[in-house]
Amino acid sequence: MADRDGGEGEGGTVVTPSAEFPPLDPDELRALRRIGDRWRDARRGRPPGADLLPVDPTLRRHPDRPAPTRFGRLAPIVMFRVGEPDELVATEPANLPGSRLGRAATRLRRVLFGPPLSSAAVLYERMRKLVALPVLSSDLLSSVAYGPEAMLAVLLLAGSGALGLSLPLAAGLALLMVAVGVSYRQTVAAYPHGAGSYIVAGDNLGAGAGLAAAAGLMTDYVLTVAVSVSAGIRAVTSAVPELAGWTVPLGLAVVGLLLAGNLRGVRTAGNLFVLPTYAFVVALLALLAVGWFRAAGRGFVPVDPPPVSAVEGLGLLLVLRAFSSGAVSMTGIEAVSNAVPAFRSPEWRNSRTTLTWMVAMLVLFFGGLVGLIHLSGLVPTAEQSILSQLARVTFPSGPWYGLIQAATALILLLAANTAYNDFPRLLFFMARDGHAPRRFLHMGDRLAFSNGLVALTVAAAVILVAFRGHTEALIPLYAVGVFLAFTLSQAGMVLHWRRRRGPGWRRRATINAVGGAFSGLVLVVAAVTKFTEGAWVVVVAVPLLVLLFGAIHRHYERLHRSLALHPPSGGPAPGPSVVPAAPPAAGPAAPEEEELPEQVRHLVVVPVARLNRASLRALAYAASLGQPTLAVHIAPEEPEADRFREQWRAWGDHLRLETIVSPYRAVIGPLAHYLEALHASRADLVLTVVVPEVVVRSRWHRLLHSRTEQRLRAALRRLPGVVVTSLPVHPGG
């Protein structure tokens, strides 16, 4: 599963740790060259040897000698090895954090999730069809464990007499499955590099549609986890009723296990999937065969279901609701389209064949089960899933019943795991396009997208707790997101064919249009008929998510525009005397002139509260930079200011001191305003504020120190042209 690709953007469908460092585009490269030329001109006159470093940066002389402090206290181990010229390669121990707490946490994490994996371990495996089938179909096929039951539960509201409607509804759903399946067969063929709905809809209908599809898919993935886990636990509690009270804790435990397993990184997952999926298929086939054989023996005369009185009248609305509940059996049909590049060559044909098999099996299972349930006269109950009832009726003795329940629970677990693979990948592609926070680009030290995994787990856990782990209560939320993604993807394909106008484009467009229309119909039916039962959550969440993605994108775009390299406006740089009268419209960020080192004019400012070793170190550091230096003292009242000036003179008055009496005893405000006034009087100056920061070790000792340095830094970072230098002072002992 780790080798499916969830989308295709400018950067291809490849998931790579380098995505955090996007390459420069040609424009930027050109700008970079011209900026470099200006540096060369400006620095031409420097004395030779000015660039000589006082140390060997390649550490060739000290590759394995750790420093005598806590960072290196661990062991005399090689932290770096020399790679190419001017390149070091960090070894594993170099990743350990410096603090004792951090190291302990890292060690615990390694025990739980294994040692870190090198970037070189990213796999680009290809799957045979016989492996791809179980890997990709677990999500789809597992839905028959709850789909038929969801449909029957709605029909039962109109009394047991209405259950007979399940047969025509099943026929309609089978039609829908085939239509959507055929439609996806075309999508797969057209997008051999990955045909995820986010990509297809975004490509053909515009970014907004892509984001809507992504939002739908995200709710779908979260609900896949929640529904699959709760249905899996229902399979267990049907067999072992004693566990019935533990649904929510068990669900949370399973979700936690899925998180742990995926943080560990389930590599070469294919083999893991083969056995349970085929076991489920065999078990279901056996169930159907035996059941239908017996029914044939009875001459296909249905057993009368136990009488259940009607709660609602049997109307069109109820039938439509039952239909859209049954449609959740189709969730997972899109899995193949995401995974096309993971197939062996020819990808499109192999994936299309796999898709056909999957849909055929789905239709067989769904139809067979609904029919058999009808013939056996079973009705949904709260205690036992209907699949469990059917298995008990069909195999009253022997190990078969247990095997069916176990296989069902296992395949549902795999279905949930599918979402654990797809959700972080979707976020990765969205983050690469700037539609999701950048942190979803980062691969953890096990090469898993840890942030995405945690986000999915939290969302699924919240849903599980909020709905008390009841599968039935979750179904109304489920269909909307899935069918939104289906609809947008098929609609995108219609436009795709129309634009290309290749041979037979009309036929292809029609097929996709039919699939899209069917999906759209289910979407509308699900959203309308189940709105009050929970579908409103998704109906509200999807537009909000789309707005959020848009806002994130705008923020990153703005940031990129203001930080990207633009070719300089040309001409020699103006001297420092030419200060712009008003800041340019782009705000106070780095006017072009600041970008050459020779043009930076410094003033070093040292706030001094009292004269001790820490402040004298700060003064020495500041003076050693060889730039004009000014010391500032903030006094709460006049007498203290006088006293401080006396001490300053006793020291020798080596640096210019300015005292500021702050009669209201505030320190940060007056200092910030003073620096701003200095900056206002010479806008080309860069003010470097040197702040000594006493580093105390333990957390509770930190409570004894006012966080002046931090507050000062927070206040000053808003000021343009003010640089804050923290000089850590380590008190001994």
Exposure on the CB side of residue 539, measured as CA atoms within 13 A: 15
Distance CA 255, CA 289 (A): 34
Q: Does 266 bind its own copies (CB under 8 A)?
A: no
Q: Which is nearer to its own copies, 39 or 400 (CB)?
A: 39
Which of 378, 456, 603, 712 is the binder for its own copies (CB under 8 A)? 603
- For its own copies, how many residues bind (rule: CB under 8 A)? 185
Where does this chain touch its own copies (CB under 8 A) — which range of 238-246, 273-281, 413-421, 433-441? 433-441
Q: CB of 77: closest distance to its own copies in angstroms?
A: 10
Which one of residues 72, 208, 302, 550 is an interface residue with its own copies (CB under 8 A)? 72
The C-alpha atoms of residue 712 and residue 618 are separated, in whole angstroms, by: 16
Contacts with its own copies, 640-669, as mask; x by CB under 8 A: xx-xxx-x--xxx-xxxxxxxxxxxxx-xx
Q: How far apart are CA 317 and CA 528, in angstroms?
A: 9
Binding test (CB under 8 A) with its own copies, winner from 438, 465, 533, 534: 438
DSSP, collapsed to helix, strand or coil, labels residue 685 as strand
Contacts of 339 (CB under 8 A, 6+ apart): 3, 4, 5, 127, 132, 135, 136, 194, 351
Q: Rule CB under 8 A: is residue 20 a binding residue for its own copies?
A: yes
Q: How far apart are CA 323 and CA 301, in angstroms?
A: 25
Residues in 533-572 that interact with its own copies by CB under 8 A: 552, 555-556, 558-559, 561-565
Q: Is 59 in the site for its own copies (CB under 8 A)?
A: yes
From 584, 581, 589, 582, select the one nearest 558 (Cα to Cα): 589
- State both tokens at 126: 């290809």
| Binds its own copies by CB under 8 A, chosen from 14, 32, 104, 303 | 32
Assess 346 for contact with its own copies (CB under 8 A): no
Q: Which of 53, 111, 301, 311 binds its own copies (CB under 8 A)?
A: 53
Check residue 119 for interaction with its own copies (CB under 8 A): yes
* Closest to 380 measured CA to CA, from 445, 325, 333: 325
Least separation in angstroms between residue 47's CB and its own copies is 11
Q: Which residue from 403, 521, 568, 594 is in contact with its own copies, where contact means CB under 8 A? A: 594
Residues 77-96 that bind its own copies (CB under 8 A): 79-80, 83-84, 86-90, 92, 94-96
Quote the DSSP letter at residue 405. H
Nearer Cβ to its own copies, position 495 or 691? 691
Q: Which long-range contacts (CB under 8 A, 24 or more apart) does 282-286 make?
A: 283/400, 283/403, 283/404, 283/407, 283/408, 284/144, 284/365, 284/369, 284/404, 286/400
69 counts as binding its own copies under rule CB under 8 A: yes
Among the residue ranges 1-9, 274-282, 536-544, 705-713, the one whose residues contact its own copies (CB under 8 A): 705-713
CB of 128 vs its own copies, minimal distance in Å: 29
Which of 639, 327, 616 lies closest to 475, judged by CA? 327
Rounded distance between C-alpha atoms, residue 80 and residue 141, angstroms? 49
**Alpha-carbon distances of 441 from 24, 437, 549, rounded to whole Å:** 17, 8, 15
Does position 639 bind its own copies by CB under 8 A? Answer: yes
The only residue of 344, 498, 506, 705 in contact with its own copies, by rule CB under 8 A: 705
Q: Is 630 in the site for its own copies (CB under 8 A)?
A: yes
73 binds its own copies (CB under 8 A): no
Tell whether residue 47 is a contact of its own copies (CB under 8 A): no
How far apart CA 261 and CA 270 sit, in angstroms, is: 15
Which residue from 164, 306, 543, 728 is in contact with its own copies, where contact means CB under 8 A?
728
Q: How far is CA 491 from the centre of its chain?
A: 26
Indicate which single residue of 23, 48, 299, 399 sits in contact with its own copies (rule: CB under 8 A).
23
Would you say how long the chain is, in residues?
Answer: 733
Please, which residues have CB within 8 angstroms of residue 135's CB and are 6 or more apart in sequence?
A: 1, 127, 269, 270, 273, 274, 277, 339
Does 54 engage in binding with its own copies (CB under 8 A)?
A: yes
- Under rule CB under 8 A, which residues in 440-479 are in contact with its own copies? 442-445
Counting contacts by CB under 8 A, is residue 357 touching its own copies?
no
Rounded to the nearest whole angstrom, what is the least distance from the CB of residue 679 to its own copies in the complex?
Answer: 6
